[in-house]
Amino acid sequence: MKNFGVKKGENIDEAHEYGKLMADRLVESVPNISEGRDQAVISELAAGIQAIPKVALLDIHSDPDHNRSVFTIVGEPEAMSKTLFGLVRQAQSLLDIRQHEGEHPRIGVVDVVPWIPFRGVTMEDCVTYANDLGARVGQELEIPVFLYEHASKVSSRTKLEIIRRGGLSTLRARMNISHEWYPDYGPSLLHSTAGAIAVGARFFLIAFNVVLKSADLVVAAHIAKIIRTSGGGLPEVKAMGVFLTARKLVQVSMNLTDYRVTYLRMVFEAVKQEAQRYDVDILESEIVGLVPRAAWDDTLFNDLKLRPMGSDPVLESRLEQSSDLQI
């Protein structure tokens, strides 16, 4: 059992409360790995996460068309730091961004690592954790690190989509010609096989995709443009149209960056309304990863035509059921 520093004569109850407080410090992270097809690699990365005490791997969502896997992890901050660094190091050894093909924008084999306050941890704490991880990845793994959202140090690249815009080749060009695009940590050149990585601190994000009964990418792209915040649509929504090669269908792929402002049912209805203008129906929708309990109700399965997930989609429920991290 971990020693919390109880000395002879100290109040045992106070030490117990301190230990309880430490256990109540939890963060979430949803690292996105640029691999969604090779199950052997995905399993090896998962095993590396599961080998670290005081963290729980709650979900893995892999998509072969996006060629991307999203790992949902909750744990104590110090254990999470060890876990995330190990994940980046392992992915660097297993993957090569030069060989990657997929529909989702990305800048590296580990595309993005967010720190998200879960319990007993502030956003300012997560900014510190993001900087500590970024510094270590930059120095020890020689991968350029760009900080984003609350952790950002350069106002013009606070948003993740700005860092990703144009893909890896465009990022390389910006790094070559502009001091504004020197990374926050690590070398000012892309790593030959790992590319770059975005590390940030942010609020809970819900990744939500709606699949249309259509193969017309123009339709999906138009709907995405209409509903996203940057196009004058719903607040706190990012969206893009994606062609699903394996299914010969199109998808409106979205991030709800604040479910308290724009919630799942609202964005689904907006997509449905715009699709009707093209006489296109919705086939189904899916949640990538998990959702906070405050954003969920059981009627959403039918109302959103959600694809069956096989287990509870609520983050807190998965954590309560986890044997890796008792809460």
Tokens of 322: 């986890």
**Pair type for strands 110-119 and 32-33:** antiparallel
User: Which residues touch 43 (CB under 8 Å, ≥6 apart)?
Assistant: none
How far apart, in whole angstroms, are the C-alpha atoms of residue 120 and residue 115?
14
Task: Say which of 100, 104, 150, 222 is annotated catalytic.
Answer: 104
Contact 70, 116 (CB under 8 A): no
State the CB neighbour count (10 A cutoff) for residue 28: 24
What is the rounded CA–CA span in Å between residue 63 and residue 288? 9
d(CA 226, CA 327): 42
d(CA 92, CA 96): 7
User: By C-alpha distance, which of 275, 293, 292 is closest to 284?
Assistant: 275
Written as six digits, the tokens of 281 are 């129906």
Mapped to the 3 state alphabet, what secondary structure does 159-195 carry?
Answer: CHHHHHCCHHHHHHHHHHHCHHHCCCECCCCCECCCE
Return d(Cα 175, Cα 166) in angstroms, integer.
13
Q: Is 191 a catalytic residue?
A: no
The token pair that represents 41 in the structure block: 């690699």
DSSP label of 306: B
Q: Which residues contact 162 (CB under 8 A, 6 or more apart)?
A: 156
Contacts of 266 (CB under 8 A, 6+ apart): 234
Active site residues: 104
